[in-house]
C-alpha cells in the first residue's frame, strides 16, 4: 500500500482544474443498464470507485472504453443481473444497479453493502420504494433478491430521510414503470439533477428536477444516453478549504460555484476571501504563522441535506477550524460515526472534544499543529488529514491512501502543481 508524505507550512498558489463528480458518475454509469446500446458519458473522473463501477457493469455483461474523460458503455449484451459481494463490499454505491436492472428486466440480485466506516448505512428506503413499485424483495445469505413478475407499476413513495442513492435508485426503476410515480421528500443534491437530465435525454418523462418532489410518467422505451458529468462540488470544496488552511491564493476552474452555497458562506464568515466566477473560484487567505498571527474566525457548522452544509465536507472543514481564533461546534446530523478523523487530528496537536454527534474544536496557534504519522480511515477523513498536513509544521505521513483515491482524481499531482511539498511513496 502507498502512503503520502507532506512537508507542511507552504502556501498554495496557481490554478487547479476540477474533475467530474464521483457521486454523479456512479449513478449515471449505472443508468446505462436501463436500455441496450452504446451510451456516452463525458467528464467521467478516473477514480478507484468509477473503476469499480465499470467492473460491476462488466460482471453484468456490459463492455466499455475510455478515451480521456469520455467513457462509452455498451449494455446490449447483458448476461446477468447479479452484483457480487466482493465488488459491493468495496463500494456500497454498487447498489445503484438495482433500480436500472429492475427497470430493464424486472430482476436483480445484489449483495447487501453492509456497513462502512461512517455508519450502518442501511438501504431499507430503497427496498421499500421498490416494493411500492410492485417488486418483491427477499434477503438471503447477505444478498437482496428483487423480482417483479410483471412490468413495474407507478406509485407514490415517501422517503423518511431524503436519501441520495435511494432517490436515484427509485428514479431509475420508475422511468419505465406503468403509470405515474411520485417521490416525496426526494434528495435535491445536484448529482440527482444530473441523473434526471440524463434520463430525460434517454426519453424519460420527469418533472420537479432539483426539488423535493419528483414526478415520473413511465414510458415504454428509452434510447442510449449522451450525458456530461457535472463538476465535483466536494472536490471543489476540499480545495477551497485547503487554501484557507495552508494560506495563499488559488484559482479553481471547471467548477460550479452555485453548488456550494453553504460552504462559501461559512468560509467567508471564517475570514477566507472567495470571489466567484461563472465556472471558477478565486480563493485566498493569509498564511497563519507566528509572524502574521491567526486570521481564521471559528464558526459553527451543522451538516444537512442539500442545500445545507454537506456532510462530505465536514471532516475537511474541521481541519480548518483547528486553526480558528476561538471555539467551533461541528454538528454531524447525517451519519452516526463520521468523526473517525478526530483521533488522527488530535495526534497532530488539534484540540477537539467529541460530545455525541458534535465535535468541539478549540483553535490553536499554527505553530502548535505538528506533522505526524497518520492513518486514513475513510474517503473524506483522508482529505481532512491532507489539509491538516498542508497547514502543519514538519512532516506528515498518511498511510492507507487507497481511501483517498476512491474519490479524488490526482490529488497529489494537483497539490504539487499548487506548490505543496507532497509526494506519494511505496509503503
Note the residues at the interface with ligand EPZ (CB under 6 A): 22-23, 26, 93, 119, 121-126, 161, 163-166, 187, 311-312, 334-335, 379-380, 407
| Residue 220 grid cell | 415504454
Q: What's the closest the beta carbon of residue 291 comes to ligand EPZ, in angstroms? A: 36
Dihedral, CA atoms, 6, 8, 14, 16, nearest 10 degrees? 40
Contact 31, 195 (CB under 8 A): yes
Pick the closest to residue 306 from 368, 349, 263 (CA basis).
Answer: 263
Q: What's the closest the beta carbon of residue 95 comes to ligand EPZ, in angstroms? A: 8
Dihedral, CA atoms, 258, 260, 265, 267, nearest 10 degrees? -130
Nearer to ligand EPZ, 21 or 296 (CB): 21
Q: What's the closest the beta carbon of residue 343 comes to ligand EPZ, in angstroms? A: 19
For the beta sheet containing 12-17, the strands, ordered from the edge strand earlier in sequence to the opposite edge, are 12-17, 248-253, 280-285, 273-276
| Residue 306 grid cell | 442539500
Q: What's the closest the beta carbon of residue 200 comes to ligand EPZ, in angstroms? A: 20
Nearer to ligand EPZ, 22 or 39 (CB): 22
- With a CB cutoff of 8 Å and minimum separation 6, the contacts of 230 are 20, 21, 24, 43, 190, 191, 193, 194, 256, 259
Nearer to ligand EPZ, 119 or 261 (CB): 119
Q: What's the closest the beta carbon of residue 202 comes to ligand EPZ, in angstroms? A: 20
For the beta sheet containing 143-147, the strands, ordered from the edge strand earlier in sequence to the opposite edge, are 82-83, 107-111, 143-147, 136-140
Nearer to ligand EPZ, 164 or 172 (CB): 164
Question: Distance between CA 172 and CA 424 in Å, rounded?
Answer: 39
Q: What's the closest the beta carbon of residue 321 comes to ligand EPZ, in angstroms? A: 19
Nearer to ligand EPZ, 26 or 242 (CB): 26
| Residue 216 grid cell | 415520473
Which residues carry out catalysis?
A: 116
- With a CB cutoff of 8 Å and minimum separation 6, the contacts of 278 are 257
| Residue 149 grid cell | 413478475
CA distances from 60 to 81, 159, 322, 409 (A): 6, 29, 46, 26
Helix (H) / strand (E) element for 311: namely none
Amino acid at each position: 500500500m502507498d502512503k503520502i508524505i507532506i512537508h507542511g507550512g507552504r502556501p498554495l498558489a496557481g490554478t487547479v482544474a476540477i474533475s467530474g463528480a464521483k457521486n454523479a458518475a456512479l449513478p449515471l454509469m449505472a443508468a446505462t443498464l436501463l436500455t441496450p446500446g452504446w451510451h456516452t458519458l463525458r467528464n467521467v473522473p478516473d477514480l478507484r470507485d468509477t473503476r469499480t463501477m465499470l467492473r460491476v457493469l462488466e460482471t453484468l455483461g456490459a463492455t466499455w472504453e475510455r478515451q480521456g474523460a469520455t467513457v462509452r458503455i455498451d449494455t446490449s449484451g447483458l448476461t446477468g443481473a447479479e452484483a457480487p459481494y466482493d465488488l459491493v463490499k468495496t463500494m456500497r454505491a454498487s447498489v445503484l444497479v438495482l433500480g436500472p436492472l429492475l427497470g430493464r428486466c424486472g430482476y436483480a440480485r445484489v449483495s447487501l453493502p453492509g456497513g462502512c466506516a461512517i455508519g450502518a448505512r442501511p438501504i431499507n428506503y430503497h427496498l421499500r420504494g421498490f416494493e411500492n413499485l410492485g417488486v418483491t424483495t427477499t434477503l438471503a445469505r447477505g444478498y437482496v433478491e428483487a423480482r417483479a413478475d410483471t412490468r413495474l407499476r407507478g406509485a407514490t413513495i415517501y422517503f423518511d430521510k431524503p436519501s441520495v442513492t435511494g432517490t436515484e435508485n427509485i428514479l431509475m426503476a420508475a422511468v419505465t414503470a406503468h403509470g405515474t410515480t411520485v417521490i416525496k421528500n426526494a434528495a435535491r443534491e445536484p448529482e440527482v439533477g444530473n441523473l434526471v437530465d440524463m434520463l430525460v435525454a434517454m426519453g424519460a418523462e420527469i418533472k420537479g428536477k432539483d426539488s423535493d418532489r419528483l414526478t415520473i410518467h413511465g414510458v415504454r422505451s428509452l434510447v442510449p444516453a449522451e450525458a456530461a458529468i457535472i463538476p465535483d462540488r466536494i472536490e471543489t470544496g476540499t480545495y477551497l478549504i485547503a487554501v484557507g488552511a495552508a494560506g495563499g491564493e488559488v484559482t479553481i476552474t471547471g467548477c460550479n460555484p452555485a453548488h456550494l452555497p453553504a460552504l462559501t458562506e461559512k468560509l467567508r464568515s471564517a475570514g477566507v476571501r472567495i470571489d466567484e466566477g461563472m465556472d471558477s473560484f478565486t480563493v485566498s487567505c493569509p498564511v497563519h504563522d507566528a509572524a502574521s498571527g491567526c486570521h481564521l474566525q471559528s464558526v459553527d457548522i451543522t451538516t444537512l441535506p442539500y442545500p445545507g452544509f454537506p456532510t462530505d465536507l465536514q471532516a475537511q472543514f474541521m481541519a480548518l477550524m483547528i486553526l480558528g481564533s476561538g471555539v467551533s461546534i461541528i454538528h454531524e446530523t447525517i451519519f452516526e460515526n463520521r468523526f473517525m478523523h478526530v483521533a488522527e487530528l488530535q495526534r497532530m496537536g488539534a484540540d477537539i472534544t467529541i460530545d455525541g454527534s458534535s465535535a468541539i474544536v478549540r483553535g490553536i496557534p499554527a505553530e502548535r499543529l505538528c506533522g505526524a504519522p497518520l492513518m486514513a480511515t475513510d474517503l473524506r477523513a483522508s482529505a481532512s488529514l491532507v489539509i491538516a498536513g498542508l497547514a502543519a509544521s514538519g512532516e506528515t505521513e498518511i498511510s492507507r491512501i487507497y481511501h483517498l483515491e476512491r474519490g479524488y482524481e490526482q490529488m497529489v499531482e494537483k497539490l504539487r502543481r499548487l506548490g505543496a511539498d507532497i509526494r506519494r511513496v511505496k509503503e
